[in-house]
A and B are shown apart, each in its own frame.
Chain A
Amino acid sequence: MTPQSPPERKHTISVLVDNEAGVLARVVGLFAGRGYNIESLTVAVVDTKKSLSRITIVTSGTPMIIEQIKAQLDRLVPVYKVSDLTTEGPHVERELALVKVCGKGEKRVESLRIANIFRAHVVDSAHNSFIFEIVGSPEKLDAFIDLMEPLGLVEISRTGVVAIARGTKTI
């Protein structure tokens, strides 16, 4: 309705939650129910003693929407902490992908050469295929996948982004 809505921006948000049944459903349901984007989502236990999980969500929206997302997340009872890494200073983002490339001859050699440049590892090798494991920023993974496309790329599995603030700062 507003005539000039401010531009949407990508944000990486870390959420520390109680590792209890249904907590992921609460977070995902919140995004679905309120119509927010999820570009990537990762979750795993990070503290078994305190039973805490960390959810990393990459989302996009106007500043008002992002503020809403954070407030809505913080309102959930099992949520300890919501941290917007994008606005809270420098941070590191990493993603891992497994990329399967099938081919023979020159294309097979070329794929291996590019993998070397990207410091991707071969984690499986068969007569007509490689599986590369690549770690890096999402942009690096995108670039690698783009280069593999003409070389016999058949399947991709990505973890989604995990992120953490630089320096001594903690969530």
Chain B
Amino acid sequence: MELLRQQFPANDFALLALVLLAPLIGAIINGVFGRRLGKEAVRTMALSVMAVAFGLSVVTFLNVATMHPAEGESVRLYWKAWEWFSLTPKYQSFAVDVAFSVDALSATMMLIVTGIGFLIHLYSTSYMEDDPGYYRFFAYLNLFIFSMLTLILGDNMVVLFVGWEGVGLCSYLLIGFWFGDEKKASAGKKAFITNRIGDFGLLVAMAILLYHAGGDLGWGALEDRAASLTKEITMWPPNESFLRAVPFGDALRPDAPIRVSVATLACFFLFLGCMGKSAQIPLYVWLPDAMAGPTPVSALIHAATMVTAGVYLVARTSFLFVLSPAAMALVAATGALTALLAASIAFAQTDLKKVLAYSTVSQLGFMFVGVGVGAFGPGFFHVITHAFFKGCLFLCAGSVIHSMHARIHSEEGSQDMRNMGGLRKYMPITHATFLISCLAIAGMPGLSGFWSKDELMYKAYTLQIIPANASLWVPPEWFGKAIYVMCAVAALGTAFYMFRAYFLTFWGDFKGWNIVRGWKDPHAGHHDEHHDDEPLDGPVPHESPLPMTVPLMILAFFALVGGFVYAEPLHIAPLGHFWEPVFASAQPHIKNLDPEHALMLPLLVTGGLIFAAGAGGAYFVYVVQKGAPAASFVKAAPGLHRFVLNKWKVDEFYEVTVLGLVDAMGDTAAQFDKWVIDGILAKLTSTLVTVFGTLLRTLQTGRVQVYAAGMVIGTAAVGWFLFTPHAEANADFDAMRATGELNLTAAPGHGYAYHWAVGEDAEGPDKDEDFTKNANLQLNFRQCETKTVHLSVRNVFGRQTRESFTYCRETRQGCCKAEGEMAPAPQAGEVPSLPQMKPQAPSRPGTNPGGSPKGGH
């Protein structure tokens, strides 16, 4: 450890380069050469880079954990790869480095990502065994790990955003992994597009923070300058001239300007990003569809790691969120609502993966409740326990689906819980690990889910955000309690529907096919379309191979005992103390209403009772009564059941509103394009070009004599220009405005002689001797004085011309207007006194610019 610290000091911790590069190299090699390398090599490559990344993550974690910083400072290992770009706009410069850092929070998260990532890579080597896209799968998976590590380790918001987009891309690629299937490809698109809405929010938040926080998006800099973000800015009206410009502007004018603190605004947009990535209302719709991807992907990306990026972001910017009780309340309320809604949908689903997907959405809601009420530690701890038990649950589901594929090849059929049942006899390891994870997610006291979920629910009940200044909106007293009640209901639902899934899958009788011992596939090697009406014969369902069950056992182990690293009620919370410095600057803004922990025990007991009620209820309904109450409920309220089964018709609602709106806009644009762009603009342009083309074409006769005529005319015109004199003068008006001294210089020409006359009615030169070679004239102006100058020029042919100029030194706005004939006054706000120069009409006959000879030959 000492040697490590010498090699990699905290301010230049280049070990992160290896952690990041390992999966990237794996992705590149597998992606580019994977097809030729063969499965064995791809597997070795993918697993070894993950092992390297995990090993180095452990080293990094231990390094962070064993550092003892000075009082009041937090551990942060920093590594700057290179300076990315720097901009120097008008007011402040802005530099972005490709820099990475590790503190307690990101060290833990990186351990989870690489650890669970490794297990799921291992699992996939077996699960994806027969897939033709084997190498592609592992290339994407490695790329995902790289992007996720970039997201976690990025030292500033821009690098985080790169990772944020990267995981979105990998998610898209992996959801649509089997892109031959239209439905799966469009599920990928849906995920990507929904995420883009959130990403927009994140970009806006970055812009706001960049503007108001002094041009630095590094975490440290933002934390230092957070206090300045409590200032308020006016949201509406934009400005007076806007109200004047729009019709009915007065109606839009509020009684008092609507003002919002910068922190609230920035946090709102940050949270919009989190809504997209972490599947919260209203952007959660992509996550259930994301189950179209291979099951290990669902486990890794859409349960354990990527979808928790939003929670990570809120925890990472906790110092910002606590400045705005309104934003915190929004986070908590959205989380609680999502937890409830998703739990309710999960009741009716029959697809095992769909149940788990809605359960994930619901658990993400819990996490946001945690970070939204100020319980950043427990909230983020729920991310970690959830990664264990939900990762395990998904992998169990994959294991079950894997064995169902022995006889049922359609996707719907193999994932449908109505085809399962009784599997605990045939798949003991899968059953045991599923049960443990199920108990954990349902919150059985002692298991990991209990410690994280019930802790954060307790905190929701007792914590309150202290507003940074008195003018901020704060949620009412009962807000925390309402959040708690919603969470409790959602938790009850969770226990019930998770055990419903468990009992349907593993208890009762097997319903997939008639089990025939020693059955051999008569159509071995060819996937026939089986007929639904005929009962199938099939083999005994089998347990999955070792590479699949080992990750299950490891994850289940952590789901079982992982909670004891943050068991606040038992006063064993090493992880909590480890994280404390990360949330230290947020802590002063959080008030604990229950400092004596008097409510802790009652609420924990309630949590235990909720678990017992939910699980017991499911046992009663699905084991004792064999599902009869559920069936009769469906019969009693078929409409409600269908409504819930169809996911509250949210997708249809979005279809009509959002997609309809976009479609309508598209149609309008198409009509506009058809009639205005194509019909008017394009036609007009082409007509114009045709007309000019026709005109010019007549000149192109192809006869050499016509061209020669053109040459003669042109030469004659140039000759005439040289033959006539031109009276023009240049002047420096800036100097004139400042000093009143105006230097006029007449334009030079061949054999030019000049004559200057000052004064409105000054006479011109009478004879040739009046002309001199002096091209310059100096004039002095008093303030607001106007003078007229006449310039006569005679050229070598003896031809003359005369031009008059009037100048005014406008030192005050409008003081030259008295002349009446002055050029328009300068616009308001412009620098005053642009002197006006205006050639006047010739005042005497015979001095027109054409220059009739006067005293010539």
Chain A partners chain B: no
Q: What residues make up the interface of B, taking CB atoms closer than 8 Å to A? A: none
Q: What residues make up the interface of A, taking CB atoms closer than 8 Å to B? A: none
